[in-house]
Amino acid sequence: MNQGGILFVSRSKGIFPLARMLCRQFGCINMKGTDRGARALNWVINDYKPRLVFFEAGFYGTATPYMLRRLREEDMPGLTIAAFSLGECPLDIELRFLFYGVDRYISLRHGMADFMHGFKTILDGKAYIAQKVQKAFEDLDVIPEPSSRESDREDEVLVLLANGKRRKEIAELLDISQRTVANHRTSIFSRYQAKNVPQMIRLAQNAGKIKLNGYYCLS
């Protein structure tokens, strides 16, 4: 069993060779990659026992910030978690990592120098937020308070439905039963008085709850 290594979580296995190269550049040779999610990911973490887990920002789609908060607060509160992005990630999604307590986030789109400095800082066991994201966070006039967990879960389901995920996929991503997904779906449809998903999307957009930014995300 590997103790104290670095775990990278991504849907794209092509990221793992790059991650391994970066880790070795900074003297970390104990690195593992996985594309597993939900409960299967928890099994990987329990078996590997990493000292640090890097999540690709889009791993759970637009629900990633919420899922990382749940992992930190409920499933594995002692786990050190960082998020990273090698591509485009909307600023509002990046800021949600900070809203929900993630204190380690780096993105290649904010510059190679900042990414590499942040990567090394995180490997050294320190918190680090990409400078442009940190500044945007500090410049906010009002920092929104996290809503209740039940409301959060409905928001997760809403966003995943809007992005075309089916009941089984949503259940696997959020590690809940398909019946629970169906209950949330019914509640969301009732909230917006919608008869189908396209109508739900339109009404949620009109209400300012979600917006289209390459994919649907919370406003």
SS3 104: strand
User: Same CATH topology for 6-138 and 149-218?
Assistant: no
Amino acid letter, 71: L
The residue among 178, 176, 200, 175 whose CA lies nearest residue 189 is: 200
Contact between 82 and 56 (Cβ < 8 Å)? no
Helix (H) or strand (E) holding 105: strand 104-107
CATH number for domain 6-138, candidates 3.40.50.10490, 3.90.660.10, 3.40.50.2300, 3.40.50.10800: 3.40.50.2300
Class of domain 149-218: mainly alpha
Q: Where are the domains of the chain?
A: 6-138, 149-218
- pLDDT tens digits for 44-64? 999 999 999 999 998 876 668
Q: How far apart are the first and last CA of the chain?
A: 43
| Residue 144, pLDDT score | 54
124-178 pLDDT tens trace: 999 999 999 999 998 887 655 544 455 678 888 999 999 999 999 888 888 788 8
What pLDDT, in 10s, does the model give residues 169-219?
888 888 788 888 998 999 899 888 889 999 999 998 888 888 887 788 887
